[in-house]
Amino acid sequence: MPWGVGPGGPPFILSNGLSVLSGIRRVDAADEHLLSAPLSRASRTMPGTVVVGTQFGDEGKGKIVDVLAEASDLVVRFNGGANAGHTVQVGGEQFAFRLLPSGIIRPKVLNVIGNGVAVDPGQLLEEIDALRARGHGVQNLRVSDRAHIVMPWHKTLDELEEKAKGAGMAAGTTKRGIGPVFEDKVGRWGIRVTDLLDDIVLRKKLDAIYPVKQKVSRAFGGTDTFSLDAVYNRYRGYGDRLREFVADTSVVVHDAIRGGKSVLFEGAQGTLLCVDHGVYPYGTSSACVAGAATVGVGIGPSAIDRVVGVAKAFTSRVGEGPFPTEVDDPVASHFRERGGGEYGTVTRRPRRVGWIDLVMLRYAARVNGLTDLAVTKIDVLAGLETVQAAEAYDHFDTELRHFPANMRVLAECSPEYRDFDGWEDLPAKEWRRIAGKGFDALPKAAQAYLRWIEGEVGVPLAFVSVGRGREDTIDLRKAAAPAKAPERKATESPRKPAKTKASRRR
């Protein structure tokens, strides 16, 4: 008997109108309400905008998504899982979203978790409960019926596989089961959201998968035993609680785009963590580039006409792998301790920090097809006498301007730096006042640094962020005429930046 075909007639339509066969939550009154609101200004010209990280994650994507969500009708996650931690600060309130899209606190915005996201149902329900406890509704949430589920063995295997890989191969994962869940997706061992709504399919899948996972876990030296019945009951329970949110989200997003709505696709992680384009094997297990939004949501590339790349004014990373511009104290402490600290949003591990890396950003501009650049944390760099930026790598006297695939080569590269004048330290309220006035109000040295970055990357600067809050953001498009790609390598520094070479091994 094929899965899903139960005895005694068609069990597919549930009392709440959901179809377990397809998992479709029909576009109902709540969706109609959200999707029939008047078109936002941006939506008439820009149906699909993707926001991606251009570095190693934690660039401030959540903050930029929050700002862009103002003119969006939908915010859609398409990759990653609860390894992400996206911070949004509004007024005195701070949110750190792991699975929930960063538009969730805007009740008029429909928030979608696409099929490309690894959904940990326990984590998602915790986030939902926490948000409700803070007085925010989640009636504007939809979860793809095709998204894969994080099972208990995925988290166990995440730990065990990292140990087995050892120092040279381990990525220093967030231990959220992300690698193993995507391994199972590709290996066709996965359990999807739709399965949680169907007793028969879930039980049959678990009967097949569970003994294999026990064997794999033991082979890696694991001692955890999972009770099949307990897992079944727990995940059926999750299905019952999540049912109200489950939908064929490709249909939801597609209909919205056809209706002229504005859709914001919220990337997780960063380009250098991408499983295809990142520092393999030290990145994550899903694609993090803009193109992944199509596969991770179920829409075509023609739905996207804008790609915003978010970059910190310096570089940071949590986890292992080569990091050419990494710095030690005292500069590292400056980066880490200012602006609230550079500690992982998910794991609270101290982030490794370094100067901004233009080899990386040019690479990110290319593989994402960036149309806009957002630079965050200009306030965190303040107070340094000199600010450095790597414009190329030196590999045994050969200049590399393209990011290398070989991790040994990357580890052997030393950055070729340009030095810039630093800018003065200002109190948070002064940065906010500057943000209110616009780009020209920024310290002149910061303007020069930003314009040089823009020229090197070859992508117009669209946002500059000078603090954690929504209001600490300069939107350059508001003031300017339509952006045009700047000429590369325009250097507008008041002082001609000096070129310095770092010692080969720091």
Contacts with ligand IMO by CB under 6 A lie at 53, 56-58, 80, 83-86, 171-174, 176, 178-179, 268-270, 273, 283-285, 318-319, 345
> Which entry of ligand IMO, ligand GDP, Mg ion, none binds 467, CB below 5 to 8 A by partner kind?
ligand GDP
Interacting positions 326-345 with Mg ion (CB under 5 A)? 345
* 86 and 102 Cβ atoms separated by less than 8 Å: yes
CA distance 283 to 270: 9
Residue 89 binds to ligand GDP (criterion: CB under 6 A): yes
Rg from Cα positions in the chain: 23
Quickly list DSSP for 36-72.
TSPPPTGGGT-SEEEEEESSSS-SSHHHHHHHHHTT-
* Interface pick for ligand GDP out of 23, 47, 53, 80 (rule CB under 6 A): 53
> Which entry of ligand IMO, ligand GDP, Mg ion, none binds 63, CB below 5 to 8 A by partner kind?
ligand GDP
Least distance between ligand IMO and beta carbon 118 (Å): 9
Least distance between ligand IMO and beta carbon 318 (Å): 4
Helix (H, G, I), strand (E, B) or coil at 147: coil
> Which entry of ligand GDP, Mg ion, ligand IMO, none binds 463, CB below 5 to 8 A by partner kind?
none
> Which entry of Mg ion, ligand GDP, ligand IMO, none binds 376, CB below 5 to 8 A by partner kind?
ligand GDP
CA distance 319 to 312: 17
Q: How many other CB atoms sit within 10 Å of the CB of residue 260?
A: 12
* Interface pick for ligand GDP out of 340, 383, 436, 494 (rule CB under 6 A): 340
* Interface pick for Mg ion out of 18, 55, 58, 59 (rule CB under 5 A): 58
CA separation, residue 506 to residues 101, 167, 361, 501 (Å): 38, 20, 21, 12
Least distance between ligand IMO and beta carbon 181 (Å): 10
* Interface pick for ligand GDP out of 339, 354, 460, 497 (rule CB under 6 A): 339
* Token couple for 473: 């953001």
Q: Which of 309/324 has CB closer to ligand GDP? A: 309
User: Known catalytic residues?
Assistant: 58, 86
* Interface pick for ligand GDP out of 25, 63, 106, 192 (rule CB under 6 A): 63
* Interface pick for ligand GDP out of 47, 48, 62, 180 (rule CB under 6 A): 62
- Which DSSP symbol is given to 98? S
* 157 and 180 Cβ atoms separated by less than 8 Å: yes
Q: Which residue stretch of 8-16, 205-213, 398-406, 459-467 sits at the interface with ligand GDP (rule: CB under 6 A)?
A: 459-467
CA angle 299, 303, 307 (to 5 degrees): 110
- Residue whose token pair is 């409700």: 132
Cβ-closest residue to ligand IMO? Answer: 319
> With the C-alpha atoms ordered 480, 486, 489, 490, is the resulting torsion angle positive or negative?
negative
CA angle 458, 319, 85 (to 5 degrees): 75
> Which entry of ligand GDP, Mg ion, ligand IMO, none binds 339, CB below 5 to 8 A by partner kind?
ligand GDP
Least distance between ligand IMO and beta carbon 57 (Å): 2
Picking from 258, 281, 245, 272, the residue whose alpha carbon sits closest to that of residue 161 is: 281
Least distance between Mg ion and beta carbon 99 (Å): 13
Picking from 39, 33, 52, the residue whose alpha carbon sits closest to that of residue 257 is: 39
Interacting positions 464-483 with ligand GDP (CB under 6 A)? 465-468
Strand 372-376 relative to strand 386-395: parallel, antiparallel, unpaired?
unpaired
* Token couple for 95: 């949110």
Picking from 305, 306, 325, the residue whose alpha carbon sits closest to that of residue 315 is: 325
* Interface pick for ligand GDP out of 155, 213, 317, 377 (rule CB under 6 A): 377
Q: Which of 325/376 has CB closer to ligand GDP? A: 376
Which residues contact residue 489 at a Cβ distance below 8 angstroms, ignoring those fewer than 6 apart?
Answer: 455, 456
Residue 85 binds to Mg ion (criterion: CB under 5 A): yes
Which residues contact residue 212 at a Cβ distance below 8 angstroms, ignoring those fewer than 6 apart?
Answer: 189
Residue 309 binds to ligand GDP (criterion: CB under 6 A): no
Residue 376 binds to ligand GDP (criterion: CB under 6 A): yes
Site of interaction with Mg ion (CB under 5 A)? 58, 85, 345
Residues that bind ligand GDP (CB under 6 A): 53, 57-63, 85-87, 89, 339-340, 345, 376-377, 379-380, 465-468
